[in-house]
Amino acid sequence: MLIHQRSIKKEVTLSGTGLHTGEKCTITFQPAPVNYGYRFVRTDVENCPEIPALIDNVVEVLRGTTIAVNGVKVHTTEHVLAALYGLQIDNCRIEMSGPEPPVMDGSSYSFVEVLLEAGFQEQDEPKNYLVIDETIEFHDPVNSVDLVALPLDSFRVTVMVDYKNPALGSQHSGLFDLDKEFVKEFSSCRTFCFLSEVEGLANQGLIKGGAMDNALVIIDKTMQTEELDNLADKLSVDRQHLSLGENGILNNRDLRFPNEPARHKLLDLLGDMALLGMPLKAQVLAARPGHASNVEFVKQLKKYADRNKLARQYQHEKKAGVIFDINAIQKILPHRYPFLLIDKIVEFKLDERIVSIKNVTMNEPFFQGHFPGNPIMPGVLILEAMAQTGGIMMLNGNDNLQESVVYFMGIDKARFRKPVLPGDTLVLEAVVTNRRRNVCQFDGKAYVRGELVCEASLMATVVPKGK
């Protein structure tokens, strides 16, 4: 069934104070046209610059996700974006009179309420889902963080957290149906921190808008009366309204769900995944996620999306185990017989790694002279096959292929280990080691039957034709 994009029907507004900056802000949600996505607009800055909510615009992930364009920032975007993503709104203009959305009660619920009040408007264009058909992973072994996206023809998220704290312990939560569960089960789950962190956050100026009613504070240490007095001063709250309590939460505040912290981590993950710029069809599993890991995970998803976009552009017939067949390669590379030296691309991670296949047959024209009676593939042509593989790696979805050409600038550390003979299948791998603007460095390796036959470091650049 074709599912269409949607926006909101009318403009809605709410006001409050930003959690980290402490600045007052009025946020206004407005309808937006198809394929607009989510864009924040800083109305308090000259010319009202737009900051698209996209992963490439993330600049900070300390205690929240901050995006920026040309130095103009929007702090703590995740709760607003979670509300939009959870309600499956595709297009919305978000005007703000300050640098940070109001924290409200520390959840997404206030934003959800006004967006529901605005109502939804179905639009003429279909949703552009990113459909995952292979495992996408992010691992941070230092912090024991794992995020994985698995193929699924719907959207599910499961989160596990383990803070080794008696008030929390190990918790997990799962969202299996956005329509049925998001508003009632997740949108009202509040942000939280540990008591041991509060003083440090206050000293760093990271919770200027923090208050007892916009975050849960988990008690993970004991405090003497004098320490509580100092903490009340730093938070600018009445000391009489500050107590350790007995349920493991500062001031004995009740949890809205027994696993509210885990649910809030899932809410944050939804907000950060909104930065992908398209809805996802996948099963997402997250262990101990945070904004830094969420952002790196979304970057992996973005590379997968870009690669799939290129595949759809050049590879019109889907073939098992093939990213680009020879017909697609000829649309990408200018080389033709007898100098097109790769037959298909079988692996492609954008800006990271690519693997091609060259089937070496006795019909290759160079075997007539290299050498009669002892046919061996010239080493320089193995390097050229590496170079052509790397040339496809330099695709980034933005290059005008008809108006551009790849020039190789250098070959270093070339080594030829074993001869390549007729009947061999040459497997060529290129791994990016450095990329700056239009210049790319990569390590190339060639294998036959799993044995290394050639390796080299190469450098290339993309330039307009005729330069």
**Residue of 75, 79, 264, 291 marked catalytic:** 291
For the chain, give the number of residues: 467
Query: What's the one-letter identity of residue 399?
Result: D
Q: How far is the CA of 184 from the CAs of 178, 187, 212, 254, in angstroms?
A: 10, 7, 23, 17
Cα separation, 428 vs 358, in Å, equals 8
Contact 261, 192 (CB under 8 A): yes
Which of 41, 54, 120 is closest to 87 using CA atoms? 120
Beta pairing, strands 136-140 & 38-42: unpaired
Establish whether 139 is a catalytic residue: no
Cα separation, 204 vs 236, in Å, equals 15
**Residue of 139, 172, 335, 370 marked catalytic:** 370
Establish whether 172 is a catalytic residue: no
Contact 387, 340 (CB under 8 A): no
Other C-beta atoms lying within 10 Å of the C-beta of residue 353: 15
Which of 447, 327, 333 is closest to 391 using CA atoms? 333
Residues pairing with 114 in the sheet? none
Q: Which amino acids are annotated catalytic?
A: 291, 370
